[in-house]
């Protein structure tokens, strides 16, 4: 699953970089700025995810093409991972109706991998000559999502035990994204920005012979601190 995810991520990122090269070479390149941004992601829905995960880390890169002084289109390639929250899993395992006396609890694997290519509209709420302004963004994208199986090892009544959960085969899904941010201009085309967003990935989980086909709306809040140039 990891190898397949990385191949799709490389192809998606390559497509973004190729498009940026084409735009850079045309007559409107002066309207183009690039950006990079590390991010912290908070898992907020659904219960099938937040029961096991609380936060993830990732990064984004892309470019912003100005349509006017206040409106632009933003292309972004984003990759993030979520690792299982050991405290959440410990609470689940030691619940009264599970294994309340469990000890030596440890968690293996279970990482969620998410890659997203998106296009959003960005509206800058700025006045003439401003060096600092808020902005809002909204748009759509395509995501590639997969998850390793979570393995929880523990001891109960002196016996070693294991529980398993959470595996998801790599799947491609549509996504909706929105964000609010603040940007500070730092000479030329350079600027720093911080933004808080929300993104929803509409996953379809295929039938597996036991469970029927279902949907999973993976929802996260990305918090980014970045630089454009």
pLDDT tens column, 19-40: 555 544 543 445 899 999 999 9
pTM of the model: 0.84
Task: State the CATH architecture for 2-228.
Answer: Beta Barrel (2.40)
Q: What are the pLDDT digits (tens) for 160-183?
A: 999 998 788 899 999 999 999 999
pLDDT at 101 > cutoff 70: yes
Mean pLDDT of the chain: 89
63 burial level (CB within 10 Å; 0-12, 13-18, 19+): buried
């Amino acid at each position: 699953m990891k190898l397949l995810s990385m191949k799709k991520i490389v192809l998606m990122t390559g497509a973004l970089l190729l498009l940026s090269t084409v735009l850079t070479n045309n007559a409107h390149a002066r309207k183009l700025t690039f950006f990079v941004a590390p991010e912290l992601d908070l898992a907020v829905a659904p219960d099938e995810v937040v029961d096991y995960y609380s936060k993830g880390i990732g990064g984004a890169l892309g470019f912003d093409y100005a349509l006017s002084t206040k409106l632009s289109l933003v292309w972004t390639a984003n990759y993030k991972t979520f690792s299982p929250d050991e405290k959440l899993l410990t609470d689940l395992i030691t619940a009264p109706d599970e294994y309340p006396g469990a000890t030596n609890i440890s968690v293996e694997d279970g990482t969620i991998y998410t890659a997203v290519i998106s296009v959003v509209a960005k509206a800058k709420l700025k006045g003439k000559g401003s060096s600092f302004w808020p902005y809002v963004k909204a748009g759509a994208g395509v995501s590639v999502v997969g998850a390793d199986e979570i393995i929880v090892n523990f001891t109960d009544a002196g016996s070693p035990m294991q529980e398993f959960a959470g595996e998801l085969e790599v799947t491609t899904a549509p996504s909706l994204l929105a964000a609010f941010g603040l940007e500070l201009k730092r000479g030329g085309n350079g600027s720093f920005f911080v933004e808080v967003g929300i993104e929803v990935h509409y996953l379809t989980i295929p039938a597996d012979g036991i469970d029927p086909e279902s949907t999973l709306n993976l929802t996260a809040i990305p918090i980014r601190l970045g630089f454009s140039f």
